[in-house]
Amino acid sequence: MAETRTVVRSAEYFETALTLISRNVSKVHRYLLNATDLLTERDLGTILRIMGCSATTLPTVCEDNCWSNRYRTITSNCNNRRNPRLGAANNAFARWLPAEYEDGFSLPKGWTRKRLYSGFRLPPVRQVSNQILQVANQIVPLDQDHAHIFVQWGQWLDHDMDLAPQSGSIQTFTNGINCDETCARRSPCFPIRIPSNDARFKNSTGCMPFFRSAPVCDTGELGSLFGHINIREQLNAVTAFIDSSMVYGNGKSIANRIRNYTNDLGLLAINQNYSDNRLEHLPFSSNNSGSPCIMNSNGTGVPCFLSGDGRVNEHLGILSFHVLFLREHNRLARELKKLNPHWSGETIYQEARKIMGAFHQIITYRDYVPRLIGSEAMQKYLPPYRGYNESIDPRIANVFATACFRSGHVTIQPIVHRFNESYQEHPLYPNILLHNSFFSPWRIVDQGGIEPILRGLLANPAKRQTQNRMIVDELRQRLFELTSPLPLDLASLNLQRSRDHGLPGYNAWKRFCGLSEPKNVRQLTAALRNASLARNLFELYGTADNIEPWLAGVSEPAVNGGKLGPLFACLAGQQFKNLRDGDRFWWENKRVFTVSQQQALQQVSLSRVICDNTRIEELPQDAFRFRPYPAGYIRCTQIPQVDLSAWKENVEVILCASAPVVDHAHFSICKSSVRYTCEPGFKLVGGDTITCLSNGQWNITPPICTDAAV
């Protein structure tokens, strides 16, 4: 996203400038601590402005009219009118506990290998991965209650809520060393050392590349300018809210790129080269330089697909969801146009986007979260909705994005199943190992579209998390193998990211949640109900205080009726509460939808979305519940639909009767006002909005639309 690249670049330019100033001047002034001590406030302001960081400190001006209160902004600025940046894209993650950095403000824990924490060294993350987390692809335990589409929804939802972009540079800032080619720890490189006895990388003394997450412009080395005592914070590049931003984008640049502006129908752009047997595909990205998308088996290139989120091409499961919900938006848009032919394309787009956001909120909170956190956490954190609360901070917590919601990684199957209409392995497009699905959009284009993949997600169980079989080799040994110079290890990346972000350890979070803190092997054994695992963790870490929250969280046995352990059930419950109650556009807020619209929205289901946008005719009514075919499968005709008739706009305006019709114009009504836009090829003359007054008269004459060429 262009806006994110600009923010990241500005922050890193500024941080590098201050580091260089500090380093050079301190050769003479050894007693000075950092660049901010050496410069006047005016000097700092000048550097801030030149590097582009000053934009993040400018006040946000929020529109306040009927239409701005009807639709979210694409960036989610102004969701909270008192604090307009809360939950908006390209702002800092929330901190529920103070960060813990090696130097107190910026360097990751483990940056200096001999440094002690609570009296012990931190173990190398790849060593932890090898000793604690591995499971071969062939011995995967299965979850007999949840289909793999439950796991896929978790990733889809995650991409709606958080993205911590990596550094904008692939080289060290001060001497230009490529991070892919060094074991040196020089920002932004924080490489993962490979143990000499590593079976995957035999006799290797090298490193797995790792790039630090980009800082927020006013933190870390930059922070003293703003009174933050130099604590480095990470950037959330996407909107925090559940608003379908992975479909629509998080900034104006990408949102406009994926719109179809060839007509005024409010549609999203589709692929002009390929279709899925007349069903729509995503458009291709026009930027193919350095594309990670691999060529097909014939050696011909299929470019990366383009959508609202840059992770669209990561693997076939997430890509199939992007295609599915592109089609759902366009289906909604066409139906809304039939109901309201007087609507402009912009109104149709915004209404369809608003409905899509509600769909995602309902499916998530009704069908997904209760299964994730269990009934006890649901009662504690998510009792019945009582309305919007502007005092609640809806931002995604750093610990949620970096640890808690990465728990889904231990429930991923190593195989991408592709099924035919009878839910058997497809004879033309057989099952493939997961690593062969990474950045492979050609498999969507050339191998049967998204239907075989969706059937595989519906009719196969998720991986069951067990303490001796954590994360499959497809993710731990072969991540991005086809596109990376060195295969990556997702478990090691997760552990290193915790250190990069300065997350406190296991016991700090247990204390945060009011849970007992294990101080010795016996107490950790009780918490994990596993003596062997507890001993292994203490041998590696020396103390439970040092265990990364992601590792400790996925090691805990699940709560009753949930998929997470007590720690993660607490963190997830708090996060989903904040997202619901701190969202001004939450679907149950009485100012967002009418009562009849709310009633209609409750008919939504993921199974119905699949029915409406594919040729799949038979599937489980409850998509997340695993049942082997054909048990529990029903026809699409038996699955309720959302009745969109509740969105038919009444063109009668109180006291003033019908809204005046203007030739070559569209209009929409908001309370007692009517807003006009001209059809393509015409320009508006006069005010675009008229308002019905209490005397039954319009406040001004309606505008006219004249030929733009005249």
- For residues 586 and 108, is the Cβ–Cβ distance under 8 A? no
Name, in order, each residue with C-beta under 8 angstroms of 110's C-beta and a sequence gap of 6 or more: 102, 122, 125, 496, 499
CB atoms within 10 A of CB 24: 11
Q: Report the chain's terminal Cα–Cα distance, integer Å.
A: 38
Angle, helices 316-339/606-613, rounded to nearest 10 degrees: 80
Q: Where are the beta strands (DSSP E) in 400-458?
A: 415-416, 432-433
Using CA atoms in the order 312, 317, 323, 324, what is the torsion angle rounded to 10 degrees?
-140
d(C-alpha 613, C-alpha 607), whole Å: 10
In this structure, what are the phi and psi dihedrals at residue 481, rounded to the nearest 5 degrees? -60, -35
- For residues 670 and 67, is the Cβ–Cβ distance under 8 A? yes
Is residue 159 annotated as part of the catalytic site, yes or no? yes
Q: Which residue among the candidates 148, 159, 435, 666 is catalytic per the annotation?
A: 159
d(C-alpha 220, C-alpha 232), whole Å: 3
Residue type, 589: N
Q: What's the token pair of residue 364?
A: 């998530």
In this structure, what are the phi and psi dihedrals at residue 633, rounded to the nearest 5 degrees? -90, 140
d(C-alpha 585, C-alpha 360), whole Å: 13
Beta bridge mates, 134: 471
Give the H or E element holding residue 663. Answer: none
Long-range contacts: 543-546, Cβ < 8 Å, 24+?
A: 543/118, 543/119, 543/120, 544/505, 544/506, 544/507, 544/517, 544/518, 544/519, 545/117, 545/118, 545/505, 545/506, 545/507, 545/508, 546/117, 546/118, 546/120, 546/122, 546/505, 546/506
Please, what sign has the CA dihedral across residues 184, 190, 191, 192? Answer: positive
According to DSSP, residue 226 is labeled: G
- Alpha-carbon Rg for the chain in angstroms: 27
d(C-alpha 604, C-alpha 593), whole Å: 15
Q: 619: closest CA among 430, 456, 412?
A: 456
Q: 140: closest CA among 627, 459, 472?
A: 472
Q: Active-site positions?
A: 159
